[in-house]
Structure 1
């Protein structure tokens, strides 16, 4: 019992300092449990995961939020000069939703957006397997709540989302460009500089 108490105290200290350990175990009745504190000593098989090493989006998050991120990661697709995209980003930030942002600014980005199920309406949000084109506060909040994201922000004050990246990775774009180097691209298929891709609406 004394050893068990010492282990519990040590785990709590580690958890406080590193946002730390997530425990998963299966009870005798078959129920799977997750906790940021160690399971009862009667449980023999326990899986441990250090949340701080789970990647940039899930690093150092409170238990409930980390579990939501792992089960239903959030990705936001945006483009330049898009007020609806700004509103979407503001909602996610205000609610404390960790998310990855993908920007859509050229034909390769558009192709990638369509691959993941998007259409020509931005912003486009994915929450796990669920998707939503266009920004609507109520429907977005409903989708996030259904994915077990907290209603109000639980993000640590030091948390920062990863920097936005192009929907189509640059390396892939360069490889594609090299294969069509001797072919002329119709000028009307390219997005106008500083504007949203052609045909997109907000």
Structure 2
């Protein structure tokens, strides 16, 4: 085979592997009790157990590389309270930008103390966001956008 043909075959195989990996696997026993595994359905008179395959044994993260990289270096934590328009706006903004974040609702004394320590005050107000350890008080879209951009999160299109 020529180098070109080998390259074409390798490319075709690489394109087909994900399709094959998504196929179901059937597990069934025959009349003598032997267990069979197949990607083809067994005979009609056999009880079937179908298992869905998940791509490969190594799950792949669905987030873009830039987002994974930024979230490892600068994780985002959103502190919120109930009935808070700014909290809802901040949550919506992060979701629209597809920023992975942890939301901590300030409903217990433990979370309230944690928030007070981060804010450096006994008074706790929400929302506020922590990006890689740096606190940004209040909801101000332009400030959050600048901080997230600086942390390496893709700009995206927030609504």
**TM-score, length basis structure 2:** 0.59
1:101 to 103, 111, 118: 103
Structure 2: 5+ residue stretches without partners: 23-57
Name the residue aligned to 1:88: 90
**2:149 corresponds to 1:145:** yes
2:116 to 96, 107, 114: 114
Inter-CA distance 67–51: structure 2 relative to 1 (3 Å threshold): farther
Inter-CA distance 13–66: structure 2 relative to 1 (3 Å threshold): farther
Name the residue aligned to 2:48: none
For 2:15 and 2:134, how far apart are their aligned partners in 1?
36
* Number of residue-to-residue matches in the alignment: 111
The Cα RMSD (Å) is: 2.9
Structure 1: 5+ residue stretches without partners: 19-49, 53-58, 154-202
The Cα of 1:12 is off from its aligned counterpart by 10
**TM-score, length basis structure 1:** 0.47
Q: How do 1:1-202 and structure 2 match up within 5 A?
A: 6=10, 10=14, 52=60, 59-115=61-117, 117-118=118-119, 119=121, 120-152=124-156
Inter-CA distance 112–51: structure 2 relative to 1 (3 Å threshold): farther
Inter-CA distance 13–134: structure 2 relative to 1 (3 Å threshold): farther
Q: Which has the larger radius of gyration?
A: 2
The Cα of 1:129 is off from its aligned counterpart by 2.2
